[in-house]
Amino acid sequence: MPGQITIETTQNVNLQYEIAPLGERIVANIIDGLIRIAVFIVALIFLNVLSPGFEFGAVAIVTIILFAVPFVFYHLLFEIFNNGQSPGKRIFDLRVVSIRGEMVSIGAYLLRWLFRIVDFHIFSGLVALIAVASSDKGQRVGDMVAGTTVIKESRRVVFRQLAFDEVRAEYVPTYPQATKLQPVHIELIKETLNDLALENSEGHVKLLADKTAGMLGLTYEEHPRKFLRTIVNDYSGVAR
């Protein structure tokens, strides 16, 4: 059985997630590798069409650069622009998250990517395999350095989620920047909005709304509770 990890958010709320199963991480990495190989093959085909015999003219050089960038920076680009998910991870509902309960920074993603050399290119991935298997937080070396781990996102619907209306197909988001948030932050917002017994609940809601707006570079004029509900709906409407 996969282990569990408890992430303490910046609001001192503990959220528990399932650590990504090692087998699923391996298969996800294999899928990503196959996609990168496909990119490489497509690049060769283009080169052969544009520059028969691989005569390296200007067109060939530009083509190589265009395909080299997504090939080399594949994992880094997807994790930065797809909120911690590569295509392989997305298939298995896996996601990179910060163990400190904050948004994963570009610097953290960069560290994870740089340490792929250690994790996967030394001893053909044995380092990553041993690190993840022996870590109680499911971290490879790159995760340990970056302060991240990979979780398995649950698609189960829990009671607290019923307080939110289902987002209509034609829903137009008010704050499309909401997709920059990670699931851990959306979960925290839901927990805060639905915990009516929380001491000084309105104060916590206001603080969370201000921090959320600051993280996304937004300003809001509506009631903090309404703003946070809008953020949750926008996240669901845009990210689905």
Going from N- to C-terminal start, the domains of the chain cover 1-155, 159-239
pLDDT at 118: 94
Residue 8 DSSP class: E
User: CB atoms < 10 A from the CB of 230, how many?
Assistant: 16
Question: What does pTM read for this prediction?
Answer: 0.69
pLDDT at 114: 96
Distance CA 149, CA 130 (A): 15
Specify the DSSP element, H or E, that contains 142: helix 141-146
Per-residue pLDDT of the chain (240 residues; tens, 9 = 90+): 458 888 776 656 667 788 999 999 999 999 999 999 898 888 778 777 766 655 556 666 776 777 788 888 999 999 999 889 999 999 999 999 999 878 889 999 999 999 999 999 888 899 999 999 999 999 999 999 999 999 998 644 343 443 444 556 677 888 988 888 877 788 888 888 876 555 557 888 888 899 899 888 899 999 999 999 999 988 876 544
Distance CA 118, CA 131 (A): 11
Distance CA 209, CA 229 (A): 10
Distance CA 97, CA 138 (A): 12
pLDDT at 35: 94
Amino acid identity, residue 22? L
